[in-house]
Amino acid sequence: MPKQGYHHGNLKQALVDAALRLIEAKGPSGFTLSEAAKQAGVTPAAVYRHFAGRDDLIAEAARQGYVIFADVMQDAYDRGQPSALASFEATGRAYLAFARHYPGHYIAMFESGLSVNRTPELALVARRARAVIEQAAEDLSQHIPPDRRPPAAMFSAHVWAMSHGVVELFARNSPGTAVPFAPEELLETGIGIYLRGLGLIAPDT
């Protein structure tokens, strides 16, 4: 590790961490390069030793988020195996857990207006995350009679949409909507009803 014991030690990661903290606290537009540099105890100009500029810093934060996200999803999937249903439900829960535990990353990834196609590297890791969700959906779809089986990509999209919606509307305080349900409970019941609609779990459980 050649970057040990230099002037700062590990400024690059310190900047990413500061950026994540700022994004979490003040939203994607509240983040500024200067403030991140300040929090890392460094001059704004120092940032340019490690990043091409402001957008590049956000992109790196998002990239790290996608890596964690993909790992977390994969882990949930694996732990649900060999049951397709358990894997599928676990990925749904993991989605929400990720949003709660890594709000800075989540915002950088999904609310910063950042395009996933910004760099090939970013696109790649985002694709890996999506692949896990779609694999879980694909596995599960095998349990539906082929003639009335919706495309796996479709119901992975449904679950993703509901998860994302729950996060945006109810796991943040933004629109001031105080619904008397915990986000976890909402997502759990929502996906439960949805899966029942697919005939994948018993109708009177």
* Single residue of 13, 24, 39, 46 touching DNA by CB under 7 A: 46
Nearest to 50 by CA among 98, 8, 78, 81: 8
Residue type, 169: L
Distances (CA, A) of 163 to 80, 189, 190: 18, 11, 9
Residue 86 makes contact with DNA by CB under 7 A: no
How far from 63 is each of 19, 58, 122, 172, CA to CA, in Å?
A: 13, 8, 6, 22
Min separation Cβ 194 and DNA, Å: 41
* Residues 113 and 84: beta-carbon distance below 8 Å: no
- Which of a copy of itself, DNA, none lies near 164, with the C-beta cut-off 5 to 8 A by kind? a copy of itself
Q: Which of 44/103 has CB closer to DNA?
A: 44
Residue 42 binding DNA, by CB under 7 A: yes
Q: Does 192 participate in binding a copy of itself (rule CB under 8 A)? A: yes
By the rule CB under 8 A, 147 interacts with a copy of itself: no
Question: What gap in Å lies between CA 141 and CA 133, rounded to an integer?
Answer: 12
Q: Which parts of this chain interact with a copy of itself (CB under 8 A)? A: 27-29, 109-111, 113-117, 123, 126, 130, 148, 150, 153-155, 157-158, 160-166, 168-170, 174-177, 179-181, 186, 189-190, 192-199, 203-204
